[in-house]
């Protein structure tokens, strides 16, 4: 039987990187192509142990570069596309929204056109719960697949726009698509601009941890490996045109998350520093994953087991994140905060 080709965009980033490793190991009979522009968030050193595997390929490209992407698809004739590549950080979208539209909206449209041109078997668009907007603190409701889209940040607006384009390519051209909308991920190779890896790396260095506002905003946390398994399931079993929410019922306030990490690392809560709130800061996210559970998905980590595993990973892989926090990222952090 001919080997299937699976294109993963954004496979040098956090979730895409974990997904590439998961797929290279699990599907030896398939060729896994990692396409990534290697922006500040992309890093290939994480793939050292798979780069010599015969089913792994890397292509450096910008998903918004139409001619190059169409030519690549026509040459390789990918069977499946799993689309992670994006600008992903809300704070960066507040200071510089333009690149979010270019990559997340224009880039997705280019990939949809390229996928149509070669009749892919499936296009999975990896989206986010942030497209639904926010829930009230005291609400007992959850985001379902039917919740109206009401994005509040330039990041989530760009993701919602790309979701609508993906939907339209299914409705108009019959492209076999799925959209997944996941809650906050954490785990190995999480870029230290995001709350959990930022807290771990700063606490380990006895540096202050900036908590926005009063720290009462709520996020619903999922270990990245459970997200990878969900996407794999949707890739193979998802009903064309359907949206699947991904989340593990792990709602925590930001303050709870930060205090848990500080406690597990045996440090003092004096490291917490309350800073100016994020503009348009969404209050609460919470996912109802019933539809995906009915497809057969179940998370393997609780927040407690996942956060301990993650902290251990950061302790064991200091070299990886120390290189990042000492580079260009440091300038971004210093501009962002005046601690």
Contact residues for ligand DAU (CB under 6 A)? 88-90, 128-130, 183-184, 194-195, 198, 210-212, 217, 219, 254, 278, 285
Stretch that binds ligand NAD, among 84-92, 210-218, 252-260, 311-319 (CB under 6 A): 84-92
From the list ligand NAD, ligand DAU, none, partner contacted by residue 161 (C-beta under 5 to 8 A by kind)? none
- Could you tell me which stretch among 10-18, 167-175, 206-214, 230-238 binds ligand NAD (CB under 6 A)? 10-18
Chain residues 120-179 in contact with ligand NAD, contact rule CB under 6 A? 126, 128, 159
**Looking at 13-21, 131-139, 167-175, 295-303, which segment touches ligand NAD (CB under 6 A)?**
13-21
- Given ligand DAU, ligand NAD, none, residue 234, with its beta carbon under 5 to 8 Å by kind, binds none
16 touches which of ligand NAD, ligand DAU, none (CB within 5 to 8 A by kind)? Answer: ligand NAD
Running DSSP on this structure, what letter comes out for residue 188? T
Q: Catalytic annotation on 155?
A: yes
36, 62, 87, 129: the active-site residue: 129
Q: Which is nearer to ligand DAU, 15 or 35 (CB)?
A: 15
Active-site residue 277, yes or no?
no
Using alpha carbons, select from 254, 279, 274 the residue that is nearest to residue 95.
279
- Cα gap 265→285, rounded to integer Å: 27
Residue 338 neighbours by CB under 8 Å, 6+ apart: none
Q: Which CB atom, from 176 or from 210, has the smaller least distance to ligand DAU?
A: 210
Kindly tell me which residue out of 8, 72, 82, 85 binds ligand NAD, with binding defined by CB under 6 A: 85
Q: Which residue is nearest to ligand DAU (CB)?
A: 128
CB 252 within 8 A of CB 303: yes
Q: How far is the CB of 264 from ligand NAD (least distance, A)?
A: 20
| 195 interacts with, out of ligand NAD, ligand DAU, none, CB within 5 to 8 A per kind | ligand DAU
For tokens 């790396």, name the residue. 201
Characterize the bridge pairing of strands 218-223 and 251-253: antiparallel
In the block, tokens 């950080």 appear at 89
DSSP string, 60-76: E--TT-HHHHHHHHHHH
Our finding on whether 80 is near ligand NAD (CB under 6 A) is no
CA–CA separation, 290 vs 297, rounded Å?
9
From ligand NAD, ligand DAU, none, which one binds at residue 289 (CB under 5 to 8 Å depending on kind)? none
Torsion of Cα atoms, 298 then 185 then 312 then 249, to 10°: -50
Contact 323, 255 (CB under 8 A): no
Contact predicate 206/243, CB 8 Å:
no
Q: Which of the following is catalytic: 62, 130, 163, 220?
A: 130
**What value, to the nearest 5°, has the Cα angle with vertex 327 and ends 322 and 332?**
110
H or E element, residue 199: helix 195-204
Could you say which residues in the range 91-130 bind ligand NAD, by CB under 6 A?
A: 103, 107, 126, 128
217, interface contact from ligand DAU, ligand NAD, none, CB < 5-8 Å by kind: ligand DAU
Q: How many CA atoms lie within 13 A of 269 on its CB side?
A: 8
CA distance 181 to 153: 16
User: Active site includes 134?
Assistant: no
Q: With left for phi above 0 and alpha for psi between -120 and 50, is residue 321 left, alpha or beta?
A: alpha
The residues that are catalytic are: 129-130, 155
Q: Which residues bind ligand NAD (CB under 6 A)?
A: 9-10, 12-16, 36-39, 41-42, 62-64, 84-88, 103, 107, 126, 128, 159, 182, 184-185, 191
């Amino acid at each position: 039987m001919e080997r299937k080709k699976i294109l993963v965009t954004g496979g040098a980033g956090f979730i895409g990187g974990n997904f590439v490793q998961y797929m290279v190991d699990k599907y030896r009979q398939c060729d896994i192509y990692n396409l990534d522009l290697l922006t500040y968030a992309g890093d290939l050193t994480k793939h050292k142990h798979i780069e010599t595997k015969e089913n792994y390929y890397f292509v450096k490209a910008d998903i918004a570069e139409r001619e190059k992407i169409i030519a690549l698809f026509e040459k390789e004739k990918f069977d499946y596309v799993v689309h992670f590549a994006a600008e992903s950080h809300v704070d960066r979208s507040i200071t510089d929204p333009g690149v979010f539209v270019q990559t997340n909206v224009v880039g997705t449209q280019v990939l949809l056109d390229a996928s149509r041109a070669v009749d892919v078997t499936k296009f999975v668009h990896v989206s986010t719960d942030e497209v639904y907007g926010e829930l009230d603190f005291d609400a007992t409701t959850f985001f379902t697949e039917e919740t109206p889209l009401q994005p509040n940040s330039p990041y989530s607006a760009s993701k919602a726009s790309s979701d609508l384009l993906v939907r339209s390519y299914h409705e108009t051209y019959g492209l076999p698509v799925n959209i997944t909308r996941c809650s906050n991920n954490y785990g190995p190779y999480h870029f230290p601009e995001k709350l959990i890896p930022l807290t771990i790396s700063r606490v380990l260095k006895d540096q202050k941890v900036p908590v926005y506002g009063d720290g009462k905003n709520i996020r619903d946390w999922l270990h990245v490996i459970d997200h990878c398994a969900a996407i794999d399931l949707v890739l193979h079993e998802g009903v064309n045109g359907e949206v699947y929410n991904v989340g593990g019922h792990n709602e925590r306030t930001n303050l709870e998350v930060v205090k848990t990490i500080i406690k597990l690392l045996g440090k003092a809560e004096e490291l917490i520093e309350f800073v100016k709130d994020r503009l348009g800061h969404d209050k609460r996210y919470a996912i109802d994953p019933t539809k995906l559970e009915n497809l057969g998905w179940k998370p393997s980590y609780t927040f407690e087991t996942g956060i301990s595993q993650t902290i251990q990973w950061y302790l064991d892989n200091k070299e990886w994140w120390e290189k990042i926090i000492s580079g260009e990222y440091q300038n971004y952090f210093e501009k962002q905060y005046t601690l």
